Structures are given as C-alpha cells and as structure tokens.
Structure 1
Amino acid sequence: MSNKLKAVIIVFVGLVLVGVGVIASILLIQRLQSSRAEVQQTGVVVKTTVVVVTRDLMLGDQIKPEDVNMVEIPVEFSPRNAVTKAEDAIGKFVKTDLIQGEMVLAHNLANPTNSNHDLSFVLSDEHILMAFPADDLMSRESIIQRGDIVDIFATFQQIVQQIPNTTTDTTTTNGTPQEPVMRTFTVDAFQKVSVTALVLEIIPEENNNPPIVGSTGQIIPAKIKIRAYLLALNPQDALVLKHLKDTGAEFDIVLRSPTSTAQFELTPVTEDYIIEFYGLEILP
C-alpha cells in the first residue's frame, strides 16, 4: 500500500471520528437542556404556603395575629402537619419553644378551651399539673386570671419542740424535758407560681333571660365563678402544698407584677414575732 493511500485512509478515519464526536456532543447538550427545562418547570408549579412565626415564642405563649406571617416554599420542604392558614394558628398556645422564622406545625399547637382539655402543653418533663382550690378573697372577687404570677401565703398550726433558754429556764437543771407545744405559723409557702389555667363555673342568667352572644358567636354567661386554679409545679412542691391543704392550712393568694422575678427573703410570722414587732411585751 502506497503512502498516499495510507494518508487518505487516516484522514477519512479522522473525519469520521470527529463527526461522531460532534453528533454525540449535540445529543448530550439537547438532553441536558431538556432535563433542565423539566426541572425549572416542575419547581415553578409545586409550591405551597405555610405559616411562620415573626418572633421568638416560648412554651405556653398564645399566638397573636402579629406573631405569624405567610410564606411560600417548595412543597418538598414543607413538613407533615405544617399549618397553611393563619387563622388555624391565631389564638392557639404553643407546646414548645419556637424561634423567629420557624414553621408552625399543627401538633405543636393547643387550645385549652377545647373538649379535650389540652392543658399538658404548658408542662415540662419536670412538672405536674395540680388543682388548687380558689377559696380566698382574691379568688372570690375573680381577680386572679390565667397567666398571672402569684405567691401563696399559708397559715397553719404545727407541734414544735421548745428549745430551753439556759439563762432563764430552770427546767434544764432538774432534767425535766420541755413539752411540745402547738404553734401557729404564717409563711410565704410558694413564690413566683404561674397560674396555668382556671376551672370555671358558669352561672346562668336569672329569670330565664336569654344568654348574651358575643361578636364571634360565643355565649357570654351572666357570671363566671373561679372554682380552682391549675398550677404547674415540680412534684416535691406539689406534695408540700397537698400536705398543707390536707392538714387544714388557710391560704391566701397574692398577685405579683407580670415582670416580677424577685425571690423575697421573708421571715415566718408567729405569735412571738407579732409581740416583738409591735412591742407588746407585758411590763412587770
């Protein structure tokens, strides 16, 4: 085979390979463009609207209209149970802390006025919910409301062992022990207690008058009486409160400022404290 023929064959094979490469490149580019167009078309169509919070919310906070906003996101980023209507979130309470921009999920919302009495949303793992009777004057006047911060005062009697005064008491010299005595104490039993919810008694209208209907269609009773408070306490505090209640202690609830965080250092009040405080010692 002559050199001229070999050169012709090599040139022909080269042209064929170049042609195959060009055709393959064109087909690959067309396929990529087609796939990209499908992805863009799909991304535009599949979107959904969800509710997000506009500020940080803490456990037990009630969602107000200004606390939520509507945003559009790709449907694949929308989790199950995402709330898609603002009215489904407004007025509800959150069962967990939410940060600004976080989506609102239906299972993280609760309504304590519904038929399921869903009050557990305010409880952490370290707390239990305890009902406390509303028998004091503040309660009878319906002053305490849900979410208030209160202190619980208690007056009770307790048998105590007297400590002898070695400077004046002669009973210690003859070995006769001091007899236990019944003393009355008034103490600030618990401080900074949050009123989780109220147990209400609805008193109907007198003379069979028709009930008043509010603008939202809700029936407004003539009078509402507070029967009990629901308090979120740690188990040990709940036991102490139950013991005081079961042994006949008398309670009064006092209302704090909504921003109060102080821990008051108070002295329990007894008969001796009152005598010393008012200078009631009997002179010889």
Structure 2
Amino acid sequence: MSRLRGFIWFLAGVILAVLAGFVAYSTLNRVAAAPVAADVSGPTISVVAASRPLQPRTLLTQEDLTLIELPAGSTPEGALDSIEAAVGKLTLVPLYSGEPVLIQKLVDPNVRAADGRSALFLSQDQVLMAIPGQDLMSRVGVLKPGDRIDIFYSLPFPENRGIGATDEEDKEQQATFAVLQNVTIVEMVGGIRPLDASAPEQAAPAAVRPDSLLVTLAPQDALTLKYLIDAGGVIDIVLRAPGVERPFEVAPVDIDYLINRYSIPTGPGR
C-alpha cells in the first residue's frame, strides 16, 4: 500500500513538473515576441518600391512601381514616398521586385545640360534616333515618354523583280509591315506643350503634338528606319498595353493578302 502511495506522489510530481515547464515556455515565448509586436505596431512610412524586376536604363512607368509600408526606423536613405516622383526616371542599377526605389539609383532624362541636350542614358550598343511625329497617334496627343510602341510602315514595292524585266513590266504594289516592335519612347521634342495651368486666362490645348519622338535603337534598326523615312514611306505607330513586351506574330499586308483573307472576288465573272 505504501509503495502504491509513493508511486502516486511520484506521478503527481511529474505532472506538476511538466505543467510548470509548459507555463515557463509559454511565458518566455510571450516575452520574446513582445518587442516584435511592438515594432510591427509602431509607426510606418509608405515608400516607393519596384513592382517587378527592372533592368538598368528602364524608363519607369506607374506600372513598374508600387507603395509598400516600412518601419519608420528602417527606411533607407533616399527612399521616395510618391510614385509620381519616380515616374519618367531612368534606373541606373537593376531593381528586384519589392525593392525600395532610391533617388540615388535614378537619373532624370529630362534634365537639360548646359548645351541644351537631355541627360539621356544610352547603353553601349544603342543609338538615339528622332522619328518625325507625323503619324496620327503622335498628332492626337496619345503618346507620352515611357510608352512602348510598334512601328509600322507602308511602302510601294515592284511586283516583278525578275531578271530581264523591263520598266514597263515593273508595276508597284503597296505593302504594309511591322518594322520594329517594343520600342520605348524616351522623349517627345518640340510641338505644342501644355500651357501653365496657373494662368486662368489661357486656354490649354487639347493635346500635346510633338515634332519628333526620341527612341533608342540598335544601329542596324536605326539605319533601316532611316531608309524607310528617306524612301517616302508612310509611318504609323501603335501603342502597346502596359507591361506587354513580347513580340507579336504579324504578317505583311498587301492586296493579295487582303484578297485571300477576305475571299474578295476578282477577275471576270465575279
């Protein structure tokens, strides 16, 4: 009987020890978590961060940026608190998704140097080229710096280029094709600019119509575009959706393409 009583007291002691250990463990966890909770509930600051991975010399748009909350005491120096302050700037270094955007990692392409030139940031394998703003998209004022565009051209081509063909046999047929895709507008130069909104007596124009669009291209692409401009081709620009950079599969369009696609009847008996 005494042996059973001793076993019961031993079992009770073990249970009490386990309970005491559990209480002590829970208390230590609460104590350790208390500073973290206090830090999370402390004051925070909204800062601009990259919404996706960005390469150097990226012209920032609103789609590239987002706002995140950081503890006030750990905000990095140079952090921006407004997305508008970063839009239109060029990145000098790569940025990861969610990384704060710092002012010292950006350059303003619109800052004019003493010689009047913009502080454009070009890579070593690119050149800066001006495209005449003669297309309809430029004239209606839809385009803006940072937009990604595709460039289309229409140009007449000889129908018969065979050896021995005479001038009389060489008839021209117009073809329209995509010359370049996913080109970034770096700047828009000249033309009508918005008037000062602080002057109420002046009526602001409905749209900004630039004289030229500045784009960065590979040298061979720039040379191809110059040939088409010099040849008197008709240029048109289409605007891509934000964030869409993939190539589109498009075929050149001429009269034969239209006849075949739309089953247009031609010739006698149509």
SS at match of 2:224: helix
**Kept after mapping to 2: 8 A contact 1:53/1:67:** yes
Where do 1:217-232 residues align within 5 Å? 222-223=204-205, 224-232=208-216
**Kept after mapping to 2: 8 A contact 1:137/1:252:** yes
**Kept after mapping to 2: 8 A contact 1:54/1:68:** no
Cross-structure match for 2:249: 265
Q: CA deviation at 1:133?
A: 1.1
Change in 2 beyond 3 A, CA 1:139/1:68 = farther
Q: CA deviation at 1:65?
A: 8.6
Change in 2 beyond 3 A, CA 1:143/1:204 = closer
**Within the alignment, does 1:198 sit opposite 2:195 as a pair?**
no
Q: 1:189 aligns with which of 174, 179, 184?
A: 179
SS at match of 1:241: helix
Q: Work out the CA distance in 2 between the residues paired with 1:103 and 1:275.
A: 53
Q: Work out the CA distance in 2 between the residues paired with 1:151 and 1:134.
A: 14
Q: CA deviation at 1:131?
A: 0.7
Which amino acid is the alignment partner of residue 267 of structure 2? I
Change in 2 beyond 3 A, CA 1:61/1:242 = closer
Cross-structure match for 1:97: 94
Cross-structure match for 1:281: 266
**Kept after mapping to 1: 8 A contact 2:60/2:90:** yes
Q: Work out the CA distance in 2 between the residues paired with 1:68 and 1:200.
A: 40
Q: CA deviation at 1:136?
A: 1.4
Q: CA deviation at 1:190?
A: 1.4
SS at match of 2:138: helix
Q: CA deviation at 1:243?
A: 0.3
Q: Work out the CA distance in 2 between the residues paired with 1:262 and 1:103.
A: 25
Change in 2 beyond 3 A, CA 1:102/1:125 = farther
SS at match of 1:212: coil
Cross-structure match for 2:226: 242
SS at match of 1:244: helix
Deviation string 1:213-238 (CA, Å, 9 cap, x unpaired) is 29xxxxx9823322211111101000
**Within the alignment, does 1:146 sit opposite 2:131 as a pair?**
no
Change in 2 beyond 3 A, CA 1:241/1:221 = farther
Change in 2 beyond 3 A, CA 1:118/1:97 = farther
Q: Work out the CA distance in 2 between the residues paired with 1:105 and 1:255.
A: 29
Q: Work out the CA distance in 2 between the residues paired with 1:203 and 1:259.
A: 27
Q: CA deviation at 1:203?
A: 5.2
SS at match of 1:213: coil
Query: Identity over aligned residues, as a percent?
Result: 28
SS at match of 1:97: coil
Q: Work out the CA distance in 2 between the residues paired with 1:104 and 1:259.
A: 22
Cross-structure match for 2:164: 177
Cross-structure match for 1:12: none
Cross-structure match for 1:127: 126
- Unaligned runs of 5+ residues in structure 1 are 1-51, 74-81, 164-175, 206-210, 215-219
Structure having the higher strand fraction is 1
Q: Work out the CA distance in 2 between the residues paired with 1:53 and 1:159.
A: 55
SS at match of 2:183: strand
**Kept after mapping to 2: 8 A contact 1:68/1:86:** no
Q: Work out the CA distance in 2 between the residues paired with 1:264 and 1:62.
A: 23
Change in 2 beyond 3 A, CA 1:225/1:262 = same
Q: Work out the CA distance in 2 between the residues paired with 1:203 and 1:252.
A: 22
Q: CA deviation at 1:57?
A: 4.4
Deviation string 1:143-171 (CA, Å, 9 cap, x unpaired) is 112222211111112335445xxxxxxxx
Alignment coverage as a number of residue pairs: 201
Change in 2 beyond 3 A, CA 1:57/1:221 = farther
SS at match of 1:138: helix
Query: Under a length normalisation based on structure 2, what TM-score does the superposition of the two structures give?
Result: 0.59
Q: CA deviation at 1:93?
A: 3.1
Q: Work out the CA distance in 2 between the residues paired with 1:151 and 1:137.
A: 14
Cross-structure match for 1:110: 107
